[in-house]
Chain A
Amino acid sequence: MSDYQLTARAPLGGLSIELGALSLTEIDAYALGSIAAPRGERTRLADRLGVALGLAMPAVGASSLSQDGSLRLLGLQQDQYFLMFKADPGAAISFLTEKVGDAGYVTDQSDSWAKLCLKGHLARQALSRLCMIDLHPKQFADGAVARTVMEHIGVILLKETDDSFVLFTPRSSVRSFVKVIEDGMRSCSNQQESA
C-alpha cells in the first residue's frame, strides 16, 4: 500500500451559479472519451458500438443517446466521436477499451475538458452573447453538437433541450470561460428584469 493517495479535484471544484432563471453547474460525474474509426472501418465500429453500447453512430454535428440516458455519443468530426457517460472519470479508459476493443482508437478526454451545464429558459439568449452558431430550434435541434469558439475559447456545445446546454471547454482556461458565460447570463437576467 502506497504511503500517498492522490486526491481528485474538479476543474472548478464543483461550481454552481444561479443568476435569475439561469443556472450554470459543473458536471464532473461524467467521463469523456474520444473514439476514432480506423480508416475504412467505420461500419465495423458502428456495429461494435451498437452491440456493446446500444448506440447508433451519429452524423457529424449530431448525437445519439442510449435508452436509459446514461450514454451519449457525439459526432464531432469525420470518423471522430466523443462518448459521454456517467462514470468516475478514472474509469473512462478501461470502460472505453473494453467496449470498443480493436474496432476504434480510444483516448481519455475526461480531464481535458471542464464540463458545464447551462439551464434555464433564457439559456439560448445567454449563449447568443457568446456563440455565433444559430441555436434556434429550427436550426439546432435537441441533441445537436457543435465545435465552436466563444470569446477566443474553444467549446464543444451539446444541446440537450431548448433550455439545457452542455458545454465542454478546455480545463486550463475554464475560469476565463466561466467569467464570460456569467457575463452573458447576467446580461440576460438584467435585461429580463428591466423589461
Chain B
Amino acid sequence: MSQPYRINGGLIDREKVLSFTFNKQPFEGYQGDTLASALLANGQRLVGRSFKYHRPRGIFTAGSEEPNALVELRDGAYREANTRATTVELFDGLAAHSQNHRGPLSFDLMAVNDFLHPFLGAGFYYKTFMWPASFWEKVYEPIIRRSAGLGRLSGEADPDTYEKGFRHCDLLIIGGGPAGLAAARFAGRSGARVILVDEERLLGGRLNAETYAVDGEAGAAWAADCADELHALDNVEILTRATVAGVFDHGVYSVVERNTDHLPDAGGRARQTLWRVYAKSAILCAGAAERPIAFGNNDRPGVMLAGAVRAFANRWAVAPGRRVAVFTNNDDGWRCAEDLSAHGVEITAVIDSRDIAPLARIPGALMAMGERVVDTRGRKGVHTITLSNGGVIPADCLAVSGGWSPNVHLTCHHRGRPQWREDIAAFVPGQDLPPGMRVAGAAKGVMRLGDVLADGYCTAMETIETLGFTPPPGEAPRADNESAAVSAFWHVAESRARCWVDLQNDVTVKDITLAEREGFRSVEHLKRYTTLGMATDQGKTGNVLGLAVLAESQGKSIAETGVTIFRPPYTPVPIGAFAGKSRGKEFRPTRVTPSHQWAEEQGAVFVEVGMWLRAQYFPRAGETHWRQSVDREVRSVRGSVGVCDVTTLGKIDIQGRDAAAFLNRVYCNAFAKLPVGKARYGVMLREDGVVMDDGTTARLSKTHFVMTTTTANAVSVFRHMEFCRQCLWPSMDVHLISATEQWAQFAVAGPNARKLLQKVVDPAFDISNDSFPYMACGEMTICGGTPARLFRISFSGELAYEIAVPGRFGESLVRILMEAGAEFNVTPYGTEAVGVMRTEKGHAAGPELNGQTTARDLGLGRMVSKKKDSIGSLLSEREALNREDGFILMGFRPINRENKLSAGAHFIAKTAPATLEHDEGWLSSVAYSPELGHSIGLGFIARGAERIGETVLAVDLVRNQEIEVEIVPPVFVDPEGERLRV
C-alpha cells in the first residue's frame, strides 16, 4: 500500500501526487510534503547513519534544527550533501540518498564502530594516534580523513548560479510565526517599510503544526489570512524560503533566499540569492526549538521530538508511528498525545517525569507519572521502551519533550550573551542585543500563544513609534493561553545504556562527563573537545541539554555554566551563495580597448593586465613560437613603423588656475614652467621617497594638463591626487577627472611614423620635426575634421607619437592606420614587443617600479628637484636611501651570448657562494634583443655605476641556473637618443 502512514487532514494537496526516490527506491508523496514527511508517510524510518558510531538514525525534528536526517540530494554535479530532509520540499523526480555508510543503509559495515565505542569516547583521536610518529601523515591521517565527515561532495564545479542583492526597510521581521505575523500586520498597516522573512514556504510557523485558534478561526487559516493581507500591502515585502543567516554592523542582515531548491530544475534562475538587508530596526520572532531528554538508546529511529510528531500529524497528515508513546517533562508534551489520539493514532503510554496528576485523558494510554524512560529496544527503529519502574511498553514512535529553547542565536551575533530563566528552564536573549533589534514571542521566552500574539503586536507598536510612524487602529490578535509549565529534567541518571545529547556528533552524556573530568570545564572547551554543538545543526536541539549535563557534573547552575557563543550563519549556506556571480571569468569585470575586436580579427594573443585584456603579440602564419612573432614586431618597428594600442594607460585631465603648481608638488621634477604644447616625463614619489609611478604629462593650455600614468597605477594615482587636492591643499584651484576611457590612444613608432601620420593628420597641422619636435603635444584634427590629440613621446626609443581620438573612433583609427601604413609595411605590435624595446632602451616599468625603489635607484636621482618642495622629496634624502653601496639600475648581458637570462635571478660575486649574505641585487627584467641578437637584462646591483665591465653571476635557484653576466649601462640601443629626434 502506498503511503501506509498517511492520515486525514493536513495542509497538503492530495490531488498532486509526486514521485521521488530514496536510495533509488521509488516512493510517492503529495504537494506540500517535505522529504521527511513523505518518507515517514511511506514508513521509511531509517534514513541515515550517525557520524561516529554509524548507528541507525531516523527523523528527529520537523524543521531546520534537524540533527539526524541528513541526506544527499540530487545527482551528479548537482548533488548536495548533508541536506536536512525536514527542510527539503518534495518535488516530482526528487532523488535522495542516505549517507555515511559502507554497504547498504540497512547493513553498514562501519557499524562495527558501535561495538568499539568503549575505545572511541570524546577526544579519543587526541590520545590514540600518538605513535609511531612516522604513521601520522601516511597512515593515521588518511584513515581519519576517510572516516570523518558525512556526505560526499560531487567533486565537480557547482553548476547552479547564485546572485546577490540589496534590500532596505524600516523594520525587518525575522520569522513569520504567530509573533512575526502579528508584528508584521501591525507594522504593515502603519505604512512603515517592512520586510518579513521566514525560512518556510508557508507563513504561520507553529500555527500550521498545532490545532490552536486565533481570533476565532483555526491558527493556520488565520496565518493564511494574515499572509494575504501582507501580500496586498505595497510597503511590505515578504521573503519566504529565506533565512536570516547573520546580523552584522550598521543594521545589516544577511538573508539567504532559496529560489529554486523546491523545483526539479532551476530553469535558468539563480538557485539562491544572498540579500544584504539594510534595516533601521528588526524584531526577532524566531520562535523556539524543542529539546530532547537524554536516556538510554534515545537515538533510535522512531524517537522524535514531540512537537515534530504532532507537526507531522497535523500539518503533513502523517502518523510517525502506529503505536506512539510520549515522554515529557512539561505540559506541552501532553498536547502531542492529545493531537495524535484525536487523529486515531494509538497512544500506548504517556510518561511524565513530574509526579503530578495526568493532565489529560488519553484513551488506552498508560499514564506513568513521575516515571522515566530508561532504555529503548529495536534493531533499525524503536520497538519497545523500558521505564524506570521496569515496565516495558510497545511503541514504534516515542515522542520526547524536554521543554523548549528560545531561538536566541541572532541576538548573539554581536557577542550578546543569553540569560538563563529558571521558570521556563531556558536561555532567553540578554540585554546586549544588536543595535535596533527587539525580540518578541517564544524567541524571548514568551511561551503561550495568547501572550506570543500580544507580544508581537506590542513590540511592533513600540518599534514603529520609535521609527516615527503613527500606530494604526486595531487590537492585538487573540488566542487562549495554553498551559506551558515545565520542570527542569535533563537526563535519566539510571539509564545504563548510552544516552545521546548531540545526535549529529554522536556526543553522549558520558562524553560530557569525561570531558569535565579531563579538565575541559569551560563550555567553549567542552564544545571543541567533544564536538558538541558543531556541524550543520549547530546544536540547536542538543546544546542546552549538554550544558545542563555539564553543569550537573560540575555541581553548578546552568546560569553559571553559561552557553557557547553563536555565530553566523544560523543555518548552512552554500559557498556558491557567498560567491554570487564572482566566479570563473566573471570573478572580476573584463576591460577591453577600442581596438579589441580588430585585434581579435588579427588573431592577437591577449594578456590580462589587471582587468584589461591587451594584445600581447600578433602571430602570423608560419610562426610557431611567440618569440618569432615578437622579434618580427620589434624589427618592424625599429625598421619601419608599428602601431600599438596604449589606451589602457591612465589619463587624468587636470584643470585649474593652480594646475601647474599642483603638478609641481605631486611630481618630484619641475613642472611649473612646462610650456604649453609640450609634454614632460615625470616621476611621482610616495611620501616616504619611494617611487609611486611615472609617466608623461602634457600641457594643453595655461590651465589644462593631461597626465598619463602606468596602466597598473591609473586608479591609485588618481586616488592619490584626489587626496592631495581635497585634503592636503584644499585651497588650490585644481580639478581632476579621469579621461582614460574618453580617448582611444595608439603609439605609432618607427622611422616611418611621421610619414604614416602625415597621411591621416589634417593638412592644416604641421607635424614636421621643426614644427612638432620631440616632446611636443597638441590638439588637432585628423581624417577630415575629427578632433584628436598628438603627443610626440616614445617608449620604444624610435621616432614615435601617441595619437588619441575619442573612444568611438578608436577601432576605425586602427584600421585606417593599417590601411594608410600598408606602403610602409606597418605592423601591429603588442605588449611583449613593448617590453623588449623598453628594456633595450633601459626604461623602467612595473618590475622596476616595485614599490621598493627610489628615483636614485632607478638612475633618476637628479630628477628630484631640490629647488622646490614636492611629495617624497624630503624623505628621499634619508641616509639609508642614499648609501654609496645602494642598488642602482644597470644593464646586464650574458658573457656567453647564447645564454638566456631569467628575471628574478640574484647577483652573486663569481667567487662567493649563492647565499643570502652574498646577495648583491637582482635581475628585474629580461628580453631577447633582436637588435643585438642576444639576451639582455635590467637589474639592480650594489654600486652598479662604478662596476661597468665587471662580471658577476646571475644565480637563479628556482630554475637551477647560474649565468655569468657583465654589468653594462642600462641603455642598450641608441644611447644618445638620436632616433627620437629625427
| A contacts, CB < 8 Å to B | 1-11, 34, 36, 38-40, 79-80, 89-90, 93, 105, 107-113, 128-134, 136, 138-139, 151-153, 170-173, 175-177, 179-180, 183-184, 186-187, 190-191, 194
Q: Is B581 touching A180 in the complex (CB atoms < 8 A)?
A: yes
Q: Is B782 touching A6 in the complex (CB atoms < 8 A)?
A: yes
Q: How far is it, in angstroms, between the C-alpha of A159 and the C-alpha of B598 when the chains are bound?
A: 35
Q: Is B589 touching A89 in the complex (CB atoms < 8 A)?
A: no
Q: How far is it, in angstroms, between the C-alpha of A107 and the C-alpha of B742 when the chains are bound?
A: 10
Residues of A within 8 A of B414 (CB): none
Nearest Cβ in chain A — how far from B338, in angstroms? 39
Q: Is A128 touching B166 in the complex (CB atoms < 8 A)?
A: yes
Sample of 10 more A-B contacts, CB < 8 Å, known A36-B735, A176-B590, A187-B269? A6-B783, A9-B594, A38-B733, A105-B703, A108-B742, A128-B165, A129-B164, A138-B193, A173-B590, A183-B161
Quick one: given A6-B786, A139-B168, are A36 and B742 in contact (CB under 8 Å)? no
Residues of A within 8 A of B786 (CB): 6, 90
Q: Is B806 touching A89 in the complex (CB atoms < 8 A)?
A: yes
Query: Which of A8, A153, A172, A184 is within 8 Å of B612, CB to CB?
Result: A172
Q: Is A113 touching B739 in the complex (CB atoms < 8 A)?
A: no
Nearest Cβ in chain B — how far from A128, in angstroms? 5
Q: How far is it, in angstroms, between the C-alpha of A55 and the C-alpha of B167 when the chains are bound?
A: 34
Q: Is B163 touching A38 in the complex (CB atoms < 8 A)?
A: no
Residues of B within 8 A of A179 (CB): 586
Query: Which of B168, B267, B591, B733 is within 8 Å of A190, CB to CB?
Result: B267
Query: Which of A6, A79, A110, A173 is within 8 Å of B805, CB to CB?
Result: A6
- Asked if B741 CB lies within 8 Å of chain A CBs, one says yes
- Asked if B125 CB lies within 8 Å of chain A CBs, one says no
Nearest Cβ in chain A — how far from B601, in angstroms? 14
CB closest residue in chain B, given A82: B737
Residues of A within 8 A of B166 (CB): 128, 131-133
| A-B CB contact pairs (8 Å), 13 listed | A2-B783, A8-B812, A9-B812, A10-B808, A36-B735, A38-B657, A39-B731, A90-B786, A105-B655, A153-B589, A172-B741, A173-B591, A177-B589
Q: How far is it, in angstroms, between the C-alpha of A81 and the C-alpha of B589 when the chains are bound?
A: 27
Quick one: given A112-B739, A191-B259, A191-B269, are A4 and B760 in contact (CB under 8 Å)? yes
Q: Is A107 touching B812 in the complex (CB atoms < 8 A)?
A: no
Residues of A within 8 A of B594 (CB): 9, 171
Identify which of residues 717-733 in chain B touch chain A, using a CB-to-CB cut-off of 8 Å: 731-733
- Asked if B899 CB lies within 8 Å of chain A CBs, one says no
Q: Is A136 touching B193 in the complex (CB atoms < 8 A)?
A: yes
Nearest Cβ in chain B — how far from A74, in angstroms? 13
Interface size class of B (residues with CB under 8 A): 35 or more
Query: Which of B612, B808, B816 is within 8 Å of A4, CB to CB?
Result: B816
Q: Is A112 touching B807 in the complex (CB atoms < 8 A)?
A: yes
CB closest residue in chain B, given A190: B269
Q: How far is it, in angstroms, between the C-alpha of A171 and the C-alpha of B787 when the chains are bound?
A: 19
Nearest Cβ in chain B — how far from A31, in angstroms? 11
Query: Which of A9, A39, A172 is within 8 Å of B592, CB to CB?
Result: A172
Q: Is B784 touching A5 in the complex (CB atoms < 8 A)?
A: yes
Residues of A within 8 A of B163 (CB): 129, 183-184, 187
Identify which of residues 615-654 in chain B touch chain A, using a CB-to-CB cut-off of 8 Å: 647, 653
Residues of B within 8 A of A132 (CB): 166, 276
Give B338-371 as 1s and 0s: 1 = Cβ < 8 Å from A's Cβ atoms: 0000000000000000000000000000000000
Q: Is B588 touching A152 in the complex (CB atoms < 8 A)?
A: yes
Query: Which of A9, A40, A111 is within 8 Å of B743, CB to CB?
Result: A111
The 7 nearest A-B residue pairs measured at CB: A111-B807, A176-B589, A36-B735, A172-B591, A105-B655, A134-B168, A39-B733
Residues of A within 8 A of B653 (CB): 107
- Asked if B593 CB lies within 8 Å of chain A CBs, one says yes
Q: Which of A34, A39, A93 has the most CB of B within 10 A?
A: A39
CB closest residue in chain B, given A94: B787
Q: Is B656 touching A105 in the complex (CB atoms < 8 A)?
A: yes
- Asked if B268 CB lies within 8 Å of chain A CBs, one says yes
CB closest residue in chain A, given B611: A173
Q: Is B741 touching A4 in the complex (CB atoms < 8 A)?
A: no
Q: Is A112 touching B741 in the complex (CB atoms < 8 A)?
A: yes
Nearest Cβ in chain A — how far from B228, in angstroms? 14
Nearest Cβ in chain B — how far from A86, in angstroms? 16
Residues of B within 8 A of A131 (CB): 166
- Asked if B270 CB lies within 8 Å of chain A CBs, one says yes
CB closest residue in chain B, given A39: B733
Identify which of residues 566-586 in chain B touch chain A, using a CB-to-CB cut-off of 8 Å: 581-582, 586
- Asked if B981 CB lies within 8 Å of chain A CBs, one says no
Q: Which of B268, B589, B647, B732 has the most CB of A within 10 A?
A: B589
Q: How far is it, in angstroms, between the C-alpha of A40 and the C-alpha of B273 when the chains are bound?
A: 48
Q: Is A109 touching B737 in the complex (CB atoms < 8 A)?
A: yes
CB closest residue in chain A, given B731: A39
- Asked if B91 CB lies within 8 Å of chain A CBs, one says no
Q: Is A186 touching B268 in the complex (CB atoms < 8 A)?
A: yes
Give B783-808 as 1s and 0s: 1 = Cβ < 8 Å from A's Cβ atoms: 11011000000000000000001111
- Asked if B422 CB lies within 8 Å of chain A CBs, one says no
- Asked if B811 CB lies within 8 Å of chain A CBs, one says yes
- Asked if B462 CB lies within 8 Å of chain A CBs, one says no
Q: How far is it, in angstroms, between the C-alpha of A132 and the C-alpha of B164 when the chains are bound?
A: 10
- Asked if B931 CB lies within 8 Å of chain A CBs, one says no
Q: Is B737 touching A34 in the complex (CB atoms < 8 A)?
A: yes
Quick one: given A9-B811, A179-B586, are A111 and B806 in contact (CB under 8 Å)? yes
Nearest Cβ in chain A — how far from B962, in angstroms? 44
Q: Is B806 touching A90 in the complex (CB atoms < 8 A)?
A: yes
Nearest Cβ in chain A — how far from B247, in angstroms? 18
Residues of B within 8 A of A38 (CB): 656-657, 733
Q: Is B819 touching A4 in the complex (CB atoms < 8 A)?
A: yes
Q: Is B593 touching A107 in the complex (CB atoms < 8 A)?
A: no
Query: Which of A108, A139, A152, A186 is within 8 Å of B806, CB to CB?
Result: A108
CB closest residue in chain A, given B816: A4
- Asked if B136 CB lies within 8 Å of chain A CBs, one says no
CB closest residue in chain A, given B659: A105
Identify which of residues 297-354 in chain B touch chain A, using a CB-to-CB cut-off of 8 Å: none
Q: Is A170 touching B591 in the complex (CB atoms < 8 A)?
A: yes
Nearest Cβ in chain B — how far from A92, in angstroms? 9
Nearest Cβ in chain B — how far from A141, in angstroms? 15
Q: How far is it, in angstroms, between the C-alpha of A145 and the C-alpha of B597 when the chains are bound?
A: 33
- Asked if B666 CB lies within 8 Å of chain A CBs, one says no
Residues of B within 8 A of A109 (CB): 737, 739, 742
Quick one: given A4-B820, A152-B588, are A39 and B813 in contact (CB under 8 Å)? no
Residues of B within 8 A of A194 (CB): 267, 269
Residues of B within 8 A of A175 (CB): 590, 592
Nearest Cβ in chain B — how far from A98, in angstroms? 15
CB closest residue in chain A, given B263: A194
Nearest Cβ in chain B — how far from A177, in angstroms? 7
Q: Is A6 touching B816 in the complex (CB atoms < 8 A)?
A: yes
Q: How far is it, in angstroms, between the C-alpha of A10 and the C-alpha of B732 when the chains are bound?
A: 37
Q: Is B806 touching A36 in the complex (CB atoms < 8 A)?
A: no
Q: How far is it, in angstroms, between the C-alpha of A10 and the C-alpha of B810 when the chains are bound?
A: 11
Residues of B within 8 A of A133 (CB): 166
Query: Which of A1, A5, A171, A180 is within 8 Å of B807, CB to CB?
Result: A171
CB closest residue in chain B, given A126: B165
Query: Which of A105, A186, A190 is within 8 Å of B735, CB to CB?
Result: A105
- Asked if B278 CB lies within 8 Å of chain A CBs, one says yes
